[in-house]
Structure 1
């Protein structure tokens, strides 16, 4: 495959049409006897779901959801780990033309409520173990505007539905069709300032997902594929759930509820994983815990996404596994669009990279680094703003955020239209992208993206906190940890016990991964002459 352009044109013609049928593309067109998902339990036992079973079970669930009043365009939120239940729920959603809103299972009630309210969710479907997060509280109403369903067979609260009871209807056999611009999902991303924003994912984004699955990840028909990312994140949704279904490939889904490097190695060996996609924290943790590789592990391709992967981690993986980790660049708003492809049929597959380079744009994408003042391409090696050349990127799909459709940062010139990603970096003379930093100041910790103001807003609700500033602390395993500088009210004194109380405050009101690792009590925060907090001085 020296030229992937014909393949891209074929996918665009298939996925971006006036009558795109998502359920057909992800399920109904595939061999009903082929396994679609293999869910792995905490003791490593498998539960498989074939495409035929997925079709039947999602049709009956779609009928139950329709009986509850779900119609095209309605939002269905999920708080379900990746696996059989989520796959069935997602397909039922798309059969009705509804929009999936996946939520991170680590979120606390306040973060969940914020996203449910903003999305206008009609129903939230959660795993039984997360049902208490939806109980009435200071953050969640006693009489919510959304219905609640759980994945078990018996309702956990009065008024709850379950996937079992919703699936007691005759199958809903008429699939909704949409245009390529019709939304199929809303995925939330954190902001430096203000609430999280929901990225609108249209049906035509399926083209970019299939392209990355086949060209970027290099998943082949005979691969055993495992993506470890949480389905509440873009990488987990796009390439742990959607792209394998598009390609008709089985994907593994470990339902353990925690990360354990030994368990990860057990899955890699027991299930003979050949294509492994994960995040930098997973690789860094594996390196810290792994001295030798069990002989049954036969991984042939590895990829990383979410934040830049340090060269020494790539060198470690190459020495231990015998294959390099391909570090790929992307965003929730784009999918993944740059890096050395893992598809051996592409000539770029064996291209050597200079230190700290990510690689060239993947097929279907044109990436430029623009000067900050002129919006013209920066000279090779010069820092600038990473931009997508939309005029020459047939896979580009992002048009805006839910409720903020006109906020996408676009630059025009007579020949090209650029979408500014909010990232900075350089492009070297060989066309390799070097990532520098996020312009928006988000903290990436354990591959979760956190807006500092989200953590500050939670801390500021504690009665001891007068004001606070949140910042990133470099860490060898997590990438970054969350740090907080706290100015206390006059009637409180900084103690280790109060610091621990503030960590718990964030953990239970936002998410455990956002809890400050370091809490410092200070007299005042660094500020400019006009009184604005100087974030760069916090650390």
Structure 2
């Protein structure tokens, strides 16, 4: 970047503002593939920092530029990306033709685009006219006690807790940690955080104290919502000024923070009537890789990811209005958060939570008691279920489909689900940075599907390609690096890791046109994806 972009050199009279805006556009167009920083714009244009920032913000508003708050980078917006990209347009048209007629092009939905997206409305309030008394959550305790939380009560309680958070100074963009097991408090806290435009940070129940404190420190958490068991793990981070909302329970040892009782604060507060809005690139969730103690691969999920989440709920998982849906995976994993918490709320489906440690007999009891028709689980959970007997009189199952995400399954597991349970098994793979992108349906009525060696086809809204070591796309059958073609993948939302430039560059090693999955394989002439190497290292929602 050079001073040759001086916006005031030979500018026509009265057109200085336009010339400056054009200079900013030129600076972004000439930036490195991942985008330009504000400092880069100042250097390239010679403008002051406030002026460059003001012009860039105006161009973002007009969608001539796009801004990623996680990476703090400006790039060309949707308007420019749509001009002259004939290959991308053709690919998108081909993808649309390949989609079933019943699957909407969710990436074109206006509610997930723009600068004023009412997240709490999308996840709760819009369902109230027809589902006020419908359960937003059904909770089953280990002892078999069932409780429900309606959409109406969720709206009321979350509005009150949002008022509590706002009163202590939590503002848009602030990070709030939630350390709670599956239950009513978790859903209320999450929705309250989104009502004020803040960032929800879930912490896995099995994290060690070191892992908890490292994540709290790295994300500069402003407040903590926890129960008495999990709050003990955060002692190192908590200072006398740290707001802590503690779910009422048994006595705990004294902690340093400003402790407030969760339910008491809700009952004493007035509802917050005005919900905050997000821009499509604003983050609403913060997570780190769950496999390491240190906070690695910080992922700020933007609101535009809702399009992929809804697509997967409706198409990948095939959740229908009449379904009883149960996502068994934990809320500490992205798969559990995306498709077990956010997804059901987004489409107005009930969340079914079952607390306590995993137990096969309890799993069968829940399936039978609630007549679950649509189940998604981790591979380890499906393997464990073979130890039980679903054919006994006490296990009258109503399953319609079973979905597994995370790793390829051996034939004996596939055969057990499709033949013993007698329902289709859908095995799907994805990245925490992208959601689910590849899937295979094993149908008990189609013997060919049980014998396929492929791991499936690419999901609508994504384009998967194979690259050689120089970043050149290979023809069908060519073995190489599997990558997401960004421009041809309107549902792909990841742009950068939080405060980790090296890890981001590794994902975009050939520029921002391709996201490198880290796996090798090939795609055959019929569009089936094949992975090389150990199957357990195929793309996974839990992968580092």
Query: TM-score per shorter chain, which class?
Result: 0.7 to 0.9
Alignment match, 1:113: 213
Alpha carbons 2:406, 2:539 under 8 Å: kept: no
1:388 is the counterpart of 2:484:
yes
Q: Measure the CA separation in 1 of the matches of 2:523 and 2:285.
A: 32
Q: Measure the CA separation in 2 of the matches of 1:38 and 1:143.
A: 35
1:92 to 174, 187, 192: 192
Q: Pick the structure with more strand per residue.
A: 1
Alignment match, 2:100: 2
Deviation string, structure 1 residues 472-520 (Cα, Å, up to 9, x no partner): xxxxxxxxxxxxxxxxxxxxxxxxxxxxxxxxxxxxxxxxxxxxxxxxx
Q: Measure the CA separation in 2 of the matches of 1:209 and 1:342.
A: 22
Deviation string, structure 1 residues 278-310 (Cα, Å, up to 9, x no partner): 110101111244474655111111111122222
CA 1:425–1:152 in 2, change beyond 3 Å: closer, same or farther? farther
CA 1:51–1:342 in 2, change beyond 3 Å: closer, same or farther? farther
CA 1:364–1:175 in 2, change beyond 3 Å: closer, same or farther? same
Alpha carbons 1:422, 1:438 under 8 Å: kept: no
CA-CA distance at 1:114 after TM superposition = 0.8
Alpha carbons 2:210, 2:293 under 8 Å: kept: no
Alignment match, 1:358: 455
1:378 is the counterpart of 2:478:
no
Q: Measure the CA separation in 1 of the matches of 2:459 and 2:304.
A: 18
Deviation string, structure 1 residues 192-237 (Cα, Å, up to 9, x no partner): 8974221110001011000000000000001000001111110110
Alignment of 1:194-233 (within 5 A): 195-233=295-333
Q: Measure the CA separation in 1 of the matches of 2:389 and 2:542.
A: 23
Alignment match, 1:180: 280
The SS at the match of 2:352 is strand
Q: Measure the CA separation in 1 of the matches of 2:476 and 2:354.
A: 43
Alignment match, 2:522: 426
1:282 to 381, 387, 392: 381
Alignment match, 1:163: 262
CA-CA distance at 1:378 after TM superposition = 3.4
Deviation string, structure 1 residues 402-426 (Cα, Å, up to 9, x no partner): 223682522558xx92111223333
Q: Measure the CA separation in 2 of the matches of 1:219 and 1:134.
A: 37
1:150 is the counterpart of 2:249:
no
Deviation string, structure 1 residues 117-141 (Cα, Å, up to 9, x no partner): 1111111211233232223xxxx25
Q: Measure the CA separation in 2 of the matches of 1:224 and 1:120.
A: 38
2:138 to 28, 38, 46: 38
1:21 is the counterpart of 2:128:
no
CA 1:229–1:142 in 2, change beyond 3 Å: closer, same or farther? closer
Q: Measure the CA separation in 2 of the matches of 1:282 and 1:260.
A: 9
Q: Measure the CA separation in 2 of the matches of 1:437 and 1:107.
A: 30
> Which segments of 5 or more consecutive residues in structure 2 lack a partner in the other structure?
1-98
Q: TM-score, normalised by structure 2?
A: 0.74
1:410 to 504, 508, 532: 508
Alignment of 1:319-338 (within 5 A): 319-338=419-438
The SS at the match of 1:186 is strand
Alpha carbons 1:311, 1:355 under 8 Å: kept: no
Deviation string, structure 1 residues 328-375 (Cα, Å, up to 9, x no partner): 0111111111113699xxxxx99836534221111111112222x132
CA 1:166–1:434 in 2, change beyond 3 Å: closer, same or farther? farther
CA-CA distance at 1:107 after TM superposition = 0.7
The SS at the match of 2:222 is strand
Q: Measure the CA separation in 2 of the matches of 1:395 and 1:438.
A: 28
CA-CA distance at 1:265 after TM superposition = 0.8
CA 1:5–1:301 in 2, change beyond 3 Å: closer, same or farther? closer
Alignment match, 2:152: 52
CA-CA distance at 1:146 after TM superposition = 3.8
CA-CA distance at 1:155 after TM superposition = 7.5
Q: Measure the CA separation in 1 of the matches of 2:171 and 2:211.
A: 26
Q: Measure the CA separation in 2 of the matches of 1:439 and 1:119.
A: 33
Q: Measure the CA separation in 2 of the matches of 1:387 and 1:193.
A: 28
Q: Measure the CA separation in 1 of the matches of 2:304 and 2:442.
A: 23
Q: Measure the CA separation in 2 of the matches of 1:306 and 1:440.
A: 9
Q: Measure the CA separation in 1 of the matches of 2:184 and 2:495.
A: 31
Alignment match, 1:486: none
Alpha carbons 2:211, 2:294 under 8 Å: kept: no
Let me know the Cα RMSD of the aligned residues.
3.0
Alignment match, 1:131: 231
CA-CA distance at 1:440 after TM superposition = 12
CA-CA distance at 1:430 after TM superposition = 2.3
The SS at the match of 1:143 is coil
Alignment match, 1:264: 363
Q: TM-score, normalised by structure 1?
A: 0.74
Alignment of 1:432-511 (within 5 A): 432-436=528-532
Q: Mean Cα displacement is larger for which, 285-294 or 119-128?
A: 285-294
Alpha carbons 2:372, 2:397 under 8 Å: kept: yes
> Which segments of 5 or more consecutive residues in structure 1 lack a partner in the other structure?
344-348, 452-539
Q: Measure the CA separation in 2 of the matches of 1:393 and 1:448.
A: 21
CA 1:175–1:193 in 2, change beyond 3 Å: closer, same or farther? closer
Alpha carbons 1:75, 1:120 under 8 Å: kept: yes
